[in-house]
Structure 1
Amino acid sequence: MKGRGIEASLLVWRDVLAGGFASESLRKRTETLTETERTLAATLVFAALRRAALWKHMAREMTRRPLGGMSRAAGDALVIGIAGVCELKNFSPRVLVNALVEWVKERGEEREPGMVNAVLRRAAREGPDIVARLRASRSIKDASLYSGVPGWAA
């Protein structure tokens, strides 16, 4: 798979969801990668973790279904991808989307690559505006989403 840093970020994300430490997993999963790919993997993972509640919310809104209603590969790709297209300033969204679609083709359900492609392209167009709107909002719910605080804690 092209995009080894992107693939590594997905593996680290899974390790963290299983209870692992991001820093330890990044060290283990990226030891053979170039510095650039390691940096990309770390940036994607920490961007996804910092505002996980927001990225999951955006994925649910854009797919109109819960993340649990799709394969793990598709759900993980959506969270990492939405975080990436909204947070990474000097990286081509097209490269990120294509690598994540390939990940889902290899590991997801038959129709999911098309859905992931469409949702991530929409997120690349609309996501930065959604994040900016949440940042400017005075609503506690919006502020908690923007800050990465789960809705139940707001």
Structure 2
Amino acid sequence: MNAPSLADLSPRPLHSYFEYVGGGSSKFYAVSLEEEEGGTWRVRFNFGRIGFPRTWDARVVGATWVKAASTYIGLINEKTGKGYELKPWPANLKLPDGTTFDEDAFAVADKHDVLFRASRRGTLPPATGGTIAGVPLPDGILYAPLPEGGSRGEDPLIWASEQPVPTNRAQR
């Protein structure tokens, strides 16, 4: 069974920021997946020298969720494939609508999306849930690297679920 893509998951706005520093370059790339009025979606991007953003431009507008999500992931894969690294959203870069991106507020508003990092390599839970350190996990998705493997190998690297994971003993 293939892991579902972003396009298979629930529609929601997403924002990613990347930097590339090396060989005399110091540049960034930001991408934003946003819902438009009428239920369509758009993907906008910004790039340039770190600390000097330009005007946002659109890659797709008036698109279905599937097309916009695929475009968003395509841009991310393109940039990471060129050596860009995911970084926290900088305070000086405004979103396309002119607002600032408060990652803490975004996390509170969307707190079911939580990333847990292990202190060392270990075993991922099965796609059908399981437990880690006594915490029961809902069903999830195992993501593996692209087929070319490389230093990461070909085994799944990430387990993700859209269902909440209990965060305290009272919820278990």
- State the TM bucket, normalised to the shorter chain: under 0.3
TM value normalised by structure 2: 0.26
TM value normalised by structure 1: 0.27
Q: Identify, as 1 or 2, the structure richer in strand.
A: 2
Q: Identify, as 1 or 2, the structure richer in helix.
A: 1
Q: Larger radius of gyration, structure 1 or 2? A: 2
